[in-house]
Chain A
């Protein structure tokens, strides 16, 4: 430290008593022997002194008008609270708890009403498929069931139930 000059930052920290005790002592020692750094320190100290002098010079009394406005505002707020305060007061537990409970119940029933589980229905084609499957396992039955993909080997076919919209050609039956 004795050989190296003190930086402005160190001087500012030293001036404000913000250095660790060891560093503080080193700078003090350096300033005693280094005229240039001592001058730099004096200048920093004068900045602080000038600021405090300016603060003293420019000091003002608190205007009475400010004090009056503070109390007026408090009186006004006490007499007629803001909407925010009214809502906050309304939203006390005695009201908030039942309202919250009603909301929960309402949401539950509302959801149940709009999201009903659909009733399981059995499509007509299921019965046809079932029937076809059973018939297919019985040799010499009246109708021979041929899967639609069996193409050219199949005899002339027609739909088992031409009126069923669900039976879209997956199963065909011999019309004979």
Chain B
């Protein structure tokens, strides 16, 4: 890894080109990721801006051959976590709950399937409310696993936790999401 740029060193053309290309190729994805994470446009704009500033400053620490998107998602995730902590502890790590697996089938009735019944117009609003009602941790893992389609290993690297934590967090998040979708669908 090359040495980081010293303070007061003028920006090199490579550094500027690196940021230009990063914004052009991944700016939209990064902004949408920040939007899904925060569920707030103002926060998503600030988060995206700050993430690209970090990319610019730390451009030499990016290792060619690795995924740039994973790298910037990790930056966004860390910035978001720091920001939530700064806002007087609104961000709280999930306390592991009862992880007893739920058995499907047999005598147990299947859950209602509200998602199937949702028409596209309703889907946006219901899903938006349901995602908004999740904890930041749960929203983050669902976005990474189901929307961005990262593996548990990749999510663990982005979020900075173990694969086991990703797995249990995703299980709880999806069950919680289903309940919330049912709730908001019934409220219509």
B14-58 residues at the A interface, CB under 8 angstroms: 19, 23, 27-28, 30-32, 35-36, 45, 48-49, 52-53, 56
| Chain A interface mostly | helix
Task: Please determine whether A50 and B123 come into contact, CB atoms closer than 8 angstroms.
Answer: yes
> Please, how many angstroms separate the alpha-carbon atoms of A155 and B103 in the complex?
106
Task: Please determine whether A58 and B146 come into contact, CB atoms closer than 8 angstroms.
Answer: no
Residue B69 CB within 8 A of the other chain: no
Contacts A62-B48, A69-B49, A70-B49 given; indicate if A37 touches B104 (C-beta within 8 A): yes
Cβ of B100 to closest chain A Cβ, rounded Å: 9
Contacts A18-B151, A18-B152 given; indicate if A46 touches B115 (C-beta within 8 A): yes
Cβ of A42 to closest chain B Cβ, rounded Å: 8
CB neighbours of A54 from chain B (8 A):
123-124, 127-128, 131
Task: Please determine whether B27 and A62 come into contact, CB atoms closer than 8 angstroms.
Answer: yes
Contacts A46-B113, A54-B123, A54-B127 given; indicate if A9 touches B106 (C-beta within 8 A): no
Task: Please determine whether A81 and B105 come into contact, CB atoms closer than 8 angstroms.
Answer: no
Task: Please determine whether A74 and B151 come into contact, CB atoms closer than 8 angstroms.
Answer: no
Q: Chain A residues in contact with chain B, CB under 8 A?
A: 5-13, 16-18, 34, 36-37, 39-40, 43-44, 46-48, 50-55, 57-63, 65-67, 69-70, 73-74, 78, 81, 85-86, 88-89, 92
